[in-house]
Amino acid sequence: MRLAFTLEYDGTNFSGFQRQTNAITIQEQIENAIKKVEGSDISINYSGRTDAGVHALSQVFDFETDILRDHKNWIDGINSNLPKTISVKKVFEVPIDFNSRFSAKERKYSYVIYNSKNKPLFFDRFSHWVTNKLDIDIMINQLQMFKGEHDFTSFKSSSCNSKNPIKTISNVDIQKINNFIIITISANAFLQNMVRIMVGTLIDIAKKENNFSISEIIMKKDRSFAGKTSPSRGLFFLGPTYSDNLRIDSLESSIFDRLKA
């Protein structure tokens, strides 16, 4: 039997999702919690390898088990052994060949900017504070240029080891609520730091500190033409999407609704 779970976490105090030898990670915390429930070592698959400081509203992980428990017991058992900054939300029975990463069709991220002269005292862990006035109309116009299939070499980190920089962005969106600007991007896959570099470039263009358009920067295929990498604290993984027949409710629709709540 294979089970898939969705979970959310505050990534502030973790060195990313993927298990590391000398650092505390989300994967390590989850696998240790499962071991206490299952009674044996478990290695999980996961849908997205978020970096240090990045948060998630609907990460997905899966593993195979012979233990029969109802869904509530699985959720309660795992959560009781996790820190308060990580929480399992839902569980689904999936086909034995399901893989959280390789079965995903798309992934969705949101980035939260707090645009104000005043410090976001209660949101500092979850937003990027920008004091310069950002031209939202410029950001809306430039953001649309990311849509479609492109070579995103200009928007990947120097340490990215992906062999294929060509990705397809299916949807982009930007919303403003009070001082918050939320940029949301959906794609079949992302390069390392891609969303954070995209956002940093949009900010530089909106501040008129970069005279190139997004389309021009894409065509350059050169990281030096893009903007600064935005801090990890503002980035949220909203989750992956899977084929309808899997019936996995794994995608958080919007961080905008969380801010309004």
Kindly provide the residue ranges of all beta strands, DSSP E only, lying in the chain, ordered along the sequence: 2-9, 45-46, 55-64, 86-94, 106-115, 128-130, 148-151, 166-177, 180-187, 235-241
Active site includes 51?
Answer: yes
Residues 6+ apart with CB under 8 A from 197: 154, 155, 156, 157, 223, 226, 227, 228, 229, 230
How many other CB atoms are there within 10 angstroms of residue 133's CB atom? Answer: 11
Do 201 and 226 meet the contact criterion of CB atoms below 8 Å apart? yes
Residue of 51, 151, 173, 204 with catalytic role: 51
Number of H helices, E strands in the chain: 6, 10
Tell me the catalytic residues. 51
